[in-house]
Amino acid sequence: MNKLKDTFGRKFPYIRLSITDICNYKCTYCLPQGYKKTPGDMRSFMTAEEISRLTKALAELGVCKIRLTGGEPTVRKDFFDILKDMKQNSNIPKITMTTNGYRLDKIAKQLHEVGLDGINISIDSLNRETFKKLTGHDRLPEILEGIKILQKLNFKNIKVNAVLLRGINDSHKEFEKFGNFIKDNKIDFRFIELMQTGDNLDYFKKNHVSSKIFKDYLEKNNWVYQTYGKDAGPALNFIHPEYKGKFGLIAPYSKDFCKTCNSLRVTSRGDLRLCLFGNTGISIRHLLQNNDQKEELIDLITKQLHLKKESHYLELGDTGITKNLSTTGG
Ligand code: SAM
């Protein structure tokens, strides 16, 4: 039974758990200069043990899905230990992750063996040069190879996310390229509308495009809107009889986006965040120090949920305390 409910009747079966702020990519909209430690912030990332305690408490609260994110989760040396512990000891039915695909060709088999239940891979362009310019890394071929390996292993839940960017991937030609990719590939491809964060205002002004252009494209090309799955989150999904994969859209600026919010976040330093863009966040780390604290932790998380607001106020330019998404895991 899901015990995580807010005062607006929303339920939260889904947690996004950041395990590091560190990212090895330099995505132009997120960390264009690469990851740098915030001056003065001496707090370490949660240890594997702390994460393990947290996960067990979340299971008791009825959480049915945890998505590991970052930063880039795979840069943590103990990434596989954390994942293995969650799969074997937590009782959470689905453990998934979001990754930039770093070394995916090398780790695909291990991900499958550990029993990862789903993977979201960020690929903003299927053009190798553009990908390199956007991320600072010439790694598109190894990511695509990693996807092929996962598919050969019959790994089921593969999603590819791209941030919609003006002049880069927002033309019909680019949409068709992504369409060709999912035509015979059972992969969900979703565009995320670029979000304004504390660090990227100029970039946002230059590069933000409304996701409406993609929605219009889908409707014109006979893609049919599909209703949500139970823990699907705020993506709008579209299907087409001639395509094995689905197209999707994550539009944080749309009017009703927050109504479908079903996730809470825990940052890599152990802060519970009620909204990606909210100003509310408290540390729960002091209650991750020994196994006897589980009841107290559960109580604190449940009480905090009552503070969750109805909506972020992103459309009014209120980015809360989010400097860039590497700190809260996008
Ligand atoms: N490193 C992993 C990755 O690349 O997927 C996980 C963390 S990353 C912050 C999660 C997602 O957030 C990525 O798909 C990324 O493209 C997206 N993202 C980062 N900054 C964003 C922004 N300002 N607006 C929209 N999406 C953003």
The pLDDT assigned to 162 comes to 98
Q: Is 211 in the pocket of ligand 1 (CB under 6 A)?
A: no
Residues in the chain: 330
CA distances from 47 to 16, 195, 293 (A): 16, 30, 16
Closest ligand 1 atom number to CA of residue 70: 7
**What spacing in Å lies between the alpha carbon of 194 and ligand 1's midpoint?**
9
Please give the distance of CA 209 from its chain centroid, rounded to a whole number.
Answer: 20
Closest ligand 1 atom number to CA of residue 69: 6
User: By the 8 A CB rule, do 269 and 45 touch?
Assistant: yes
Task: List the domain boundaries for the chain.
Answer: 14-327
Q: Is 69 in the pocket of ligand 1 (CB under 6 A)?
A: yes
pLDDT digits (tens, 9 = 90+) for 146-168: 999 999 999 999 999 999 999 99
**What spacing in Å lies between the alpha carbon of 265 and ligand 1's midpoint?**
14
- List the chain residues with pLDDT less than 50: 230-231
In sequence order, the β-bridge partners of residue 12 are none
End-to-end CA distance of the chain: 27
For 277, the token pair is 């863009």
Whole-structure pTM value: 0.92
- Residue 140 Rama label (left phi>0; alpha psi -120 to 50; beta): alpha
The pLDDT assigned to 318 comes to 56
DSSP 226-244: EPPPTT--S-EEEE-TT-S
User: By the 8 A CB rule, do 262 and 11 touch?
Assistant: yes
Going by the DSSP 8-state scheme, the letter that residue 89 receives in this structure is H
Residue 104 half-sphere exposure toward CB, CA atoms < 13 A = 26
CA distances from 18 to 7, 23, 99 (A): 25, 12, 11
How do strand 188-193 and strand 158-164 relate by DSSP bridges? parallel
The pLDDT assigned to 105 comes to 98
Q: The tokens 């889908």 sit on which residue? A: 218
Helix, strand, or coil (residue 319): coil
The pLDDT assigned to 313 comes to 54
The pLDDT assigned to 264 comes to 84
CA distances from 5 to 10, 71, 252, 281, 287 (A): 6, 28, 21, 17, 21
CATH code for the domain defined by 14-327? 3.20.20.70
The pLDDT assigned to 281 comes to 73
The pLDDT assigned to 321 comes to 52
Going by the DSSP 8-state scheme, the letter that residue 65 receives in this structure is E
**What spacing in Å lies between the alpha carbon of 269 and ligand 1's midpoint?**
18
Round to whole Å and give the CA distance between 265 and 85.
Answer: 19
Helix, strand, or coil (residue 49): helix
